[in-house]
Amino acid sequence: MKSHGYAAHDNKSPLVPYSFERRDPGPRDVVVEIAYCGICHSDIHQVRNEWGNAMYPMVPGHEIVGRVTAVGSEVTRFKPGDLAGIGVLVDSCRVCANCKADLENYCVKGFVGTYNAKGYDGVVVHGGYANNIVCDMRYVHTISPKFGDKLAGVAPLLCAGITTYSPLRHWGAGPGKKVGIVGLGGLGHMGLKFAHSFGAHVVQFTTSESKIADAKRLGADEVVISKDAAAMAKHATSFDFILDCVSAPHDLNAYLDLLRLDGTLCLVGLSEKPLPVAPFSLTSFRVALAGSNIGGMKETQEMLDYCADHGIVSDIELTSVDKLAEAYDRVIRSDVKYRFVIDMATLKSSGRISKRKTG
């Protein structure tokens, strides 16, 4: 199937228009015309090869929403015209204990990522900075019509949403719990919305003084500037759970020291460098350092439905495919409120421009 999108060809150059082939849809496949795709910091890590695993050309994008244009003969959950969403994974082994337990995100064989990955057949797969995508129905989510005209704000739920929803649920963020969210970016602002919605007392940690008012608007009971040691010290030994959504190297011990007895610091942020831990920060109050990776298909659907029922979407800045470099730079500078989403309609005009330029 023919696709057209934007690809990175190395770790330095800007993304450029790119035409490519996806597999022809089979009986279990759903074809989605992409309306919106979020820009996750993981896109930038991978485009720039910060995790050392880049395969070029790379069409990034794993926060995908759009409309179904075709379905295979075995597909019953979708029909042409339906809204659909695709997140961070497009396949998994389906038979390991974790896949059977609806935790495909922890597939023992290793799930197939939406982009910068090879399918089990060895063919490279490409992501959502494109006009369309083909995906096995098991890895496609339904999107409630209740979202109305907020579809662009739904796209980031497919990664930023589930990546924060899942650990907050797993560690029981809710009434009576003091929960910290570290970093007010794409993930962090969703974590803040969820923790607030689940009824926890939420403290937002940020390095950006300019984000204090927004943090309160998004549901923070308190906001702490993490560079202010005295403000940090006031919260020592008090948190049940802290979700760390920071994309760059930073001091974990500063947050471990804020946990109460048996508290947990969970990392979802994926700094390209190791983060040193002082043993005393773990032993003093029997605290745990944990991690969490997106979420399974069932929980992702549950999260999407929770959002539809509770009027939760991502706060977004809509951008166009020809402004990816500017968007990436602003994400790196922690200057986005709070997720860039690409309007894929801009691909058509951009394609025409690039044809004129090359023609």
- Options 63-71, 172-180, 181-189, 254-262: segment touching ligand NAP (CB under 6 A): 181-189
Residues in the chain, overall count: 359
Largest CA distance in the chain: 67
Question: How many angstroms separate the CA atoms of 157 and 169, rounded?
Answer: 15
- Options 92-100, 233-241, 253-261, 266-274: segment touching ligand NAP (CB under 6 A): 266-274
Residue 314 sits in the site that holds ligand NAP (CB under 6 A): no
Chosen from ligand NAP, Zn ion, none, partner binding at 99 (C-beta under 5 to 8 Å by type): Zn ion
Shortest Cβ 107–Zn ion spacing (Å): 3
Residue 250 sits in the site that holds ligand NAP (CB under 6 A): yes
Question: How many angstroms separate the CA atoms of 279 and 231, rounded?
Answer: 23
Nearer to ligand NAP, 66 or 188 (CB): 188
Shortest Cβ 158–Zn ion spacing (Å): 8
Chosen from ligand NAP, Zn ion, none, partner binding at 93 (C-beta under 5 to 8 Å by type): Zn ion
- Options 25-33, 36-44, 76-84, 317-325: segment touching ligand NAP (CB under 6 A): 36-44
Considering only 22, 126, 193, 211, the residue that binds ligand NAP (CB under 6 A) is 211
Shortest Cβ 86–Zn ion spacing (Å): 12
Considering only 7, 25, 30, 45, the residue that binds ligand NAP (CB under 6 A) is 45
Q: Residue written as tokens 């204090």? A: 212
Non-local (6+) Cβ contacts of 82 within 8 A are 67, 68, 142
Instruction: Give the rounded distance of the alpha carbon of 30 from its chain centre.
Output: 22
* CA-to-CA separations, 27 to 6, 8, 114, 161, 297, in angstroms, rounded: 28, 31, 20, 30, 20
Chosen from Zn ion, ligand NAP, none, partner binding at 158 (C-beta under 5 to 8 Å by type): none
Residue 334 sits in the site that holds ligand NAP (CB under 6 A): yes
Non-local (6+) Cβ contacts of 86 within 8 A are 32, 62, 64, 114, 128, 133, 135, 139, 140, 141, 158
Shortest Cβ 49–ligand NAP spacing (Å): 13
Residue 246 sits in the site that holds ligand NAP (CB under 6 A): yes
Instruction: Give the rounded distance of the alpha carbon of 171 from its chain centre.
Output: 19
* CA-to-CA separations, 283 to 114, 262, 287, in angstroms, rounded: 39, 10, 7
Shortest Cβ 51–ligand NAP spacing (Å): 8
Question: How many angstroms separate the CA atoms of 309 and 122, rounded?
Answer: 39
Chosen from ligand NAP, Zn ion, none, partner binding at 22 (C-beta under 5 to 8 Å by type): none
Question: How many angstroms separate the CA atoms of 281 and 357, rounded?
Answer: 58
Shortest Cβ 94–Zn ion spacing (Å): 6
Shortest Cβ 84–Zn ion spacing (Å): 18
Q: Residue written as tokens 């379905």? A: 71
Nearer to ligand NAP, 284 or 293 (CB): 293
Considering only 25, 60, 161, 269, the residue that binds ligand NAP (CB under 6 A) is 269
Please list every residue from 147 through 166 that binds ligand NAP, using CB under 6 A: 159-160, 163
Residue nearest to ligand NAP (CB): 185
Please list every residue from 284 through 313 that binds ligand NAP, using CB under 6 A: 292-294
Can you list the alpha helix ranges (DSSP code H) found in the chain? 41-47, 97-100, 151-154, 160-170, 186-197, 212-217, 229-233, 253-256, 279-283, 297-310, 324-332, 346-358
Would you give the end-to-end CA distance of the chain in angstroms?
24
Residue 245 sits in the site that holds ligand NAP (CB under 6 A): yes
Question: 140 with 129: CB under 8 angstroms?
Answer: no
Q: Which residues bind ligand NAP (CB under 6 A)?
A: 40-42, 45, 159-160, 163, 183-188, 206-208, 211, 245-248, 250, 268-270, 292-294, 331, 334
